[in-house]
Structure 1
Amino acid sequence: MAGRRRWVCPAVTWILALTVALATAGLQFVVRPQLADDPLVGTGRLDHPAVADPPPAVLPDLGAPTATVAPGALAARLDALPREGLGDVVALVVDARTGQELYRAGSGARTPASSLKVLSALVAIDVLGPDRTFATTSLLTPDGGTVVLRGGGDPLLTGATRADAHPRPASLEDLAEQTAEQLTAKGTTTVALGYDATLFAGPGWNPAWPDIFARSVAPITALTADHARPSLAPNALQRAEDPARFAADQFAGFLAARGITVSATNPVPTPADATELAHVDSLPVSAIAEVVLAQSDNDAAETLLWQVALERGRPATPADGAAVLTTELQRLGLWDDGMAVLDGNGIASENLVTPDALVGAVRMALADPALRTITEGLPVAGVTGTLRERFGADDSLRGRGMVRAKTGTIRGVNTLTGYVVTADGQPLAFALMTSGGAGQTSARAWLDRATAALASCGCS
């Protein structure tokens, strides 16, 4: 027996050492590039969309944990955190690989705010496929006198071409250049311009959205460019009241710059006998979903949901989008009693989701390569997206570069949904949902503090 112990101990030591080495190597290759943009760690813009692809998910590159989390130790760690002004808390933390529940606080469904985008983006990729694209098309009527600009529901369509953007979205400028070449070849220099946004039935404004969000999301249409923002200045909030007309006017300007005079611009249905002049394809659904999650893009999230409704044979409307999202979440096993969804972007305060559904979506995305975009699109704490300016306090610094999570913020609600790898190398999926309380400052501080506590946990 003594001889066996002498053989087992060195073997276990070597196995643990190898596991730590593999985990460390994975973190070096995956997390260090994420940290390059962190002012507390280094300089550079390695994760800037104009330079490199978003950093990949951490989990697939890690070996087995050196120790597993003990639920009691984790609970003691989280429960010891200050909660002044926090309000109601519903939380769930599980082993991301096995689903074992490690921590739970509260129960029932709560308003998810933008954490709902984790669910709607997952459904979009699952139903539409990660490689699906949407075309914006120019067509010519049989008489040769009218060009029709037909929207295909590309939520990231731009006006001017953004050559330095990565990935590069489709643009009306590119479409106008191709269209002008075709018209010039036909000897046509003057046309009327019609625009067709009838792919989506509307109404473009979800009645469950408070009017205060008119600056956070534009009316949803099948033809929109630059998120219907007349000004592309940073933090510009104004939205065009008629996004389709706004896009058509830009297109007319691009045609004029290429020698094609536009005599009039009006909404029209596309004639059945019109012939295509040119088209530009959107980014694939997977890339759109990454933008939805990283930037909490309300317009794109809702547009993707309406595309799902069309794919399922229903009209593209707020009500049909919500109904389809409900059905698809039920199909995927991500639905619990008490849940209700009214949109795809989380603006509606009447949305109700359980932390179990959110955690289930994160685990599903981690396990299925086809859905991996969901975890890859989650912001990195203190580094990218909507978490870029967070995790700066002393008690949350250890979460920087380690926590990947979707934020959720509307009045009285703050949430964080994502995953993290503990100090012992164990991947955890979590959903933390707060409501009420003294305000956003207290809630966000606790969310950052709590997830940083997960990242630094040696809770064996």
Structure 2
Amino acid sequence: MVRLGFIMLFTLLLTNCKSAKIPKHLEKSLSARFYEPQFTGLMVYNPRTKDTVFNYNAERYFTPASNTKIFTLFTALQYLPEKIPAFKYTVQQDTLIVQGTGDPSFLHPYFKDSTALEFMKNYKAIKLVTDNYSNEKFGPGWAWEDYDTYFSPERSAFPLYGNVVSISNTDDLKTYPEFLKSQTTYTLMGKRRDFNANNFYLKLTRKSPTEVPFVLDTTMVKALWNDLLPGKVELIPSTTAKTDQILYSIPSDSLYKRMMHVSDNFLAEQILILASSTVSDTLDADTIRKSILDNQLNDLKQKPKWRDGSGLSNYNLFTPLSFVQVLEKLYAEIPRERLFNFFPAGGVSGTLKNWYAGENGPYVFAKTGTLSSASTLSGYLLTNSGEVLIFSFMNNNYNTSTNKVKEHMQAILEYLRDNY
């Protein structure tokens, strides 16, 4: 008994020694000259013991970049079913009346889901309601010059092809959808599309495929639908019909995983629109963000300024503590294997493929975030002792390369892995 008591006391002293050592080391690391010109916050939390391992500016607000998608994921898991609602509808004789739900998978370049199209082919006439979307096509605080970039497509009630044209030049100029090839030409300039018109350009020297957002004006929408279902689809502003039936498309988890792994802004924006479709016929991402903050997340110690689903907006402001709180909720509610599958794995997948590689497999499962002078990382860390730590590491206003910031973050997370 005496021997056992000695072992327990020794273990307790060793644990306390480690616990004291880690904050001192991290504090020293974050006090280094490298961090002086920038703004940095880090929170590390043990969900098993409910202990805060380390807190450095965790209650301060930061521009989160794509870490915002963690809140979008949480919202989706609260509102959306196992399969994505493709659209709402009702049938009147031989006419299908349809309201979009914001499903981004319809003929998307990655998913290429045709569930909705195959269903529509069974009807002689289709009336597509156009007035059930209440947000702007771009999010607040988005950069106007990104209008022709793959990561900034317009938001909409019934996306087609991911709201982009995919252009490639292997043996010949090819577009997806093929219909838009006639509006695509080669160029020596850098632009990919006219500012406010659907004229697309591929740089002559470009070898890899590119995706270019298109303008979702009425002419374009009509033309795309007529190409898919010639003469069948009529756009109507509203309907008195009760569109209370729902067609479902792809498994929801596949959408979440894609959003998180490649940090897909379009999917993130549309997922919030999808979530709003489950509570109202009017699609409104602003309303669903307010609802989730007022209800499921009303216990957050610092309420974020949350303006879009993707993190493209420079108006977003979140604290590391808020991310840790939401990540803890996810960890408590979702089985670990399923939850970690949503996040990029260090050294293995997604935006972490070239970072945080462990000798015995990935030790970081987390969401990256990058904007100009903003580099963030929030998620889960597996220690060599078998613990799971939740962390949020946020860097803003630095004047060095993002890779340098990432190298310093990696060194700190490796220390936690090896010493906690």
TM over 0.5, shorter chain:
yes
Shift in Å at residue 294 of structure 1? 1.8
Q: Distance in 1 between matches of 2:89 and 2:219?
A: 15
Percent identity of the aligned residues? 19
**Equivalent of 1:84, from 31, 34, 38?**
34
Distance 1:413 1:325, change over 3 A: farther
Contact kept, 8 Å, 2:83 with 2:248, in 1: the verdict is: no
1:72 equivalent among 6, 15, 20: 20
Q: What residue number does 2:51 align with?
A: 100
Aligned CA distance change for structure 1 residues 77 and 225 (closer, same or farther; 3 Å): farther
2:297 and 2:50 map into 1 onto residues whose CA distance is 19
Cα distance change on mapping 1:250 and 1:359 into 2, 3 Å? same
Could you say which residue in structure 2 is the equivalent of 1:170? Answer: 113
> CA–CA distance in 2 between the matches of 1:329 and 1:7?
45
Q: Deviations over 1:293-330 (max 9, x none)?
A: 22212122222222333444594335434433432454
- Aligned pairs (5 A) from 1:52-63: none
Q: Structure 1 residues 225, 371: closer, same or farther in 2, change over 3 A?
A: farther
Secondary structure of residue in 1 paired with 2:44: strand
Q: Is the 8 A contact 2:276 2:285 kept in 1?
A: no
Residue 226 (1) aligns with residue 178 (2): no
Query: Cα 1:407–1:5, aligned 2, differ >3 Å: closer, same or farther?
Result: same
Alignment partner, residue 76 of structure 2: 124
Equivalence for 1:433:
394
The letter of the residue matching 1:104 is N
Structure with the larger strand share: 2
1:402 and 1:370 mapped to 2: Cα distance? Answer: 17
After superposition, the Cα gap between the structure-2 partners of 1:6 and 1:434, relative to the gap in structure 1 and judged at 3 Å, is closer
Determine the C-alpha separation between the residues in 1 that align with 2:236 and 2:348: 45
Task: State the partner residue of 1:445.
Answer: 407
**For 2:217 and 2:380, how far apart are their aligned partners in 1?**
36
Contact 2:88 2:243 in 1 (8 A): no
Q: Note if contact 1:122-1:361 (Cα within 8 Å) is conserved in structure 2.
A: yes
Paired residues, number: 372
Q: 1:68 to 1:124 in 2, by over 3 A?
A: farther
RMSD: 3.8
1:334 equivalent to 2:300? Answer yes
Secondary structure of 1:80's partner?
A: helix
Q: 1:118 to 1:407 in 2, by over 3 A?
A: same
- 1:171-210 equivalences in 2 (<5 Å): 171=114, 174-180=115-121, 182=122, 195-210=128-143
| AA in 2 matched with 1:84 | F
- What stretches of structure 1 of length at least 5 have no aligned partner? 17-65, 163-167, 256-261
Distance in 2 (alpha carbons) for counterparts of 1:93 and 1:148: 51
- How has the CA–CA distance of structure 1 residues 138 and 119 changed in structure 2, closer, same or farther, with 3 Å as cutoff? closer
Tell me what 2:264 maps to: 297
Note closer, same or farther for the CA distance 1:6–1:141 as it changes in structure 2 (3 Å cut): closer
State how far apart, in whole Å, the 1-side matches of 2:16 and 2:223 are.
59
> 1 CA distance for matches of 2:43 and 2:360?
18
Please tell me the residue identity of whatever aligns with 2:236: V
1:176-234 deviation digits (Å, cap 9, x = unpaired): 44444x35xxxx6xx6x654343322222223222244321212112113321211656
Q: How far 1:100 sits from its partner (Å)? A: 0.5
Cα distance change of structure 1 residues 207 and 8 upon mapping to structure 2, 3 Å threshold: closer
| Letter aligned with residue 230 of structure 1 | V
Residue deviations 1:28-77 (CA, integer Å, cap 9, x gap)? xxxxxxxxxxxxxxxxxxxxxxxxxxxxxxxxxxxxxx968933322244
- Closer, same or farther: CA 405–361 of 1 in aligned 2, 3 Å: same
**Partner of 1:157 in structure 2?**
106
**Residues 206-217 of structure 1: matches in 2 within 5 Å?**
206-214=139-147, 215=149, 216-217=151-152
In structure 2, C-alpha distance between the alignment counterparts of 1:307 and 1:179, rounded to whole Å: 20
